[in-house]
C-alpha cells in the first residue's frame, strides 16, 4: 500500500471496469505512428476505483494490485486527465486522486486508461462542471486511444485509433478468466513488433499491403446473441502474434487454459494478460484453478465508469 488516502467529506468515488478486445484488427501504420483499428471492446468485471477529493493542488496516491508500477506524479494518466479537464474549463486541477487498483498494470486491460476515465467523471462531479458524456469522451481521447471506452462500458466498436465508439448490443453474460502475467508489455513495443512481423512476411510498402480493418459481422451477432460458443469462434487479435513473439511463454499459458476447458483463448489487447472464454461459471472456476493464483474470474459485460457511494 502506498500513501493510502484518509476518507474525506465531499469526496467522489468512481468505479471503472477493465476491458478485453474480443476483436482487434490492426491496419497499416499511419504517418502519425498510430494504426487504424477495427476493435470490439468488451468491459469486464474487474474494477479500479478513483476517489477525488478537494485539495490545494493536484496530488496522486494509490493502493492495491501492482501500484509500484505506476507513477504518482503528473505523468499518471489519472493526473493528466484531471489536468486536461480543468484546463478545458479554465480551472486549476485542485484535487487529490486516490487510486485503488485491481486491474492488472500494463496488462493489456487498459488499467491506466480506466483510471483516467474514472478521474474525468469524478472531477466533473467534484467540480460541478456538468460536462456531457460526449465531452468527457472527447477529453479522454486526447489522453489515449483506450480512454473513452471505460466511460461507456458494455461493448462497443472502436474505429479510428480505437477512440471513435459505436455501442454494441450484448444479449447475455459471458464468463471470462484472465491469466495475469508477471511484468507488463509496452503497448508501442507490441505495435512495433506487429509491424516488424508483417514486414518480415512481405515486402514493399507496409501500409499499402495491410487491408483496411473492419468489424466482423459474425462477432457482432455473437455478442448480440449472448452465445459463448458463437463468440468463441470469432475471437481475434492481430496483436497476439506480436505479444507472443515478445513473450514466447504466453503460448503455453494460452494452451493451458484451453486444455482446462476454455472455449477459446486470446491475448488481451497488447498483452501480456491472456483471456479465456468459458461456457459457464463452473468451468471458469476450474480454468482459474488450473492456471494458478494469478488467474482472475470476471463476468462481462460490465457497466462503464459509475459514481458509487
Ligand atoms: C492495444 C489497445 O489497448 C487496444 O485497445 C490500444 O490500441 C492501446 O491504446 P492506448 O494504450 O490508449 O494507446 P495510446 O496511448 O493511444 O498510444 C500509445 C502508443 O500505442 C501505439 N498505438 C496505439 C493505438 C493505435 N491505434 N495505434 C498505435 O500504434 C502507438 O505507438 C502509440 O504511440
Ligand atoms: N493510473 C495508472 N494506472 C496504471 N498505469 C499507469 C497509470 N498512469 C500511468 N501508467 C503507466 O502506463 C503504462 C501502461 O499501464 P496500463 O496499466 O494502462 O497498461 P495497459 O493495460 O497495457 O494499457 P492498454 O491496454 O491501454 O494498452 C504503465 O507503464 C504505467 O506505469
Q: What pLDDT, in 10s, does the model give residues 57-82?
A: 999 999 998 999 999 999 999 999 99
pTM: 0.95
The residue with greater pLDDT, 10 or 209, is 10
DSSP-assigned letter for residue 67: G
Say how far apart CA 302 and CA 14 lie, in whole Å: 14
Ligand 1 centroid – CA 104 distance (Å): 17
Say how far apart CA 259 and CA 72 lie, in whole Å: 40
Task: Check if 271 has its Cβ closer than 6 Å to any atom of ligand 1.
Answer: no
pLDDT at position 202 over 90: no
Catalytic residues: 19, 146
Mutate to test the pocket of ligand 1, among 148, 191, 206 (most ligand atoms within 8 A of CB): 191
pLDDT at position 206 over 70: no
Say how far apart CA 201 and CA 195 lie, in whole Å: 10
In terms of phi and psi (left: phi > 0; alpha: psi -120 to 50; beta: otherwise), the region of 276 is beta
Q: How confident is the model at residue 106 (pLDDT cuts 50, 70, 90)?
A: confident
pLDDT at position 3 over 50: no
The residue with greater pLDDT, 168 or 65, is 168
Task: Check if 268 has its Cβ closer than 6 Å to any atom of ligand 1.
Answer: no
HEC readout, 11-53: CEEEEEEEEEEEEEEEEEECCCCCEEEEEEEEEEEEEEEEEEE
Domains of the chain (ranges plus CATH)? 12-168 (3.30.230.10), 174-300 (3.30.70.890)
Q: Going by C-beta distance under 8 Å and a sequence separation of 6 or more, which residues neighbour residue 75? A: none
Q: How confident is the model at residue 174 (pLDDT cuts 50, 70, 90)?
A: very high
Task: Check if 112 has its Cβ closer than 6 Å to any atom of ligand 2.
Answer: yes
Ligand 2 centroid – CA 221 distance (Å): 31
Amino acid at each position: 500500500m502506498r500513501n493510502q488516502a484518509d476518507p474525506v467529506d465531499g469526496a467522489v468515488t468512481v468505479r471503472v471496469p477493465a476491458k478485453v478486445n474480443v476483436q482487434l484488427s490492426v491496419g497499416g501504420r499511419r504517418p502519425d505512428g498510430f494504426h487504424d483499428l477495427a476493435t470490439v471492446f468488451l468491459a469486464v468485471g474487474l474494477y479500479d476505483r478513483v476517489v477525488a477529493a478537494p485539495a490545494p493542488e493536484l496530488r496522486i496516491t494509490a493502493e492495491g494490485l501492482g501500484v509500484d508500477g505506476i507513477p504518482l506524479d503528473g505523468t499518471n494518466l489519472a493526473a493528466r486527465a484531471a489536468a486536461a479537464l480543468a484546463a478545458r474549463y479554465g480551472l486549476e486541477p485542485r484535487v487529490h486522486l486516490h487510486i485503488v487498483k485491481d486491474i492488472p498494470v500494463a496488462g493489456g486491460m487498459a488499467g491506466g486508461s480506466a483510471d483516467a476515465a474514472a478521474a474525468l467523471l469524478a472531477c466533473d462531479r467534484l467540480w460541478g462542471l456538468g460536462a456531457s458524456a460526449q465531452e468527457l469522451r472527447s477529453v479522454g481521447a486526447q489522453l489515449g486511444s483506450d480512454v473513452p471506452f471505460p466511460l461507456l462500458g458494455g461493448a462497443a466498436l472502436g474505429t479510428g485509433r480505437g477512440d471513435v465508439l459505436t455501442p454494441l448490443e450484448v444479449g447475455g453474460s459471458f464468463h471470462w478468466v484472465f491469466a495475469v502475467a508477471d511484468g507488463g508489455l509496452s503497448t508501442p513495443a507490441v505495435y512495433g513488433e506487429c509491424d516488424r512481423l508483417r514486414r518480415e512476411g512481405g515486402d514493399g510498402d507496409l501500409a499499402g499491403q495491410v487491408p483496411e480493418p473492419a468489424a466482423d459481422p459474425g462477432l457482432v451477432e455473437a455478442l448480440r446473441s449472448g452465445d459463448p460458443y458463437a463468440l468463441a469462434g470469432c475471437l481475434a487479435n492481430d496483436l497476439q502474434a506480436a505479444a507472443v513473439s515478445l513473450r514466447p511463454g504466453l503460448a503455453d499459458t494460452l494452451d493451458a487454459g484451453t486444455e482446462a476447458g476454455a472455449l477459446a483463448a486470446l491475448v488481451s489487447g497488447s498483452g501480456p494478460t491472456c483471456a479465456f472464454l468459458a461456457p459457464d461459471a463452473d468451468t471458469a472456476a476450474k480454468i482459474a484453478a488450473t492456471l494458478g493464483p494469478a488467474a482472475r474470474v470476471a463476468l462481462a459485460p460490465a457497466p462503464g465508469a459509475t459514481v458509487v457511494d
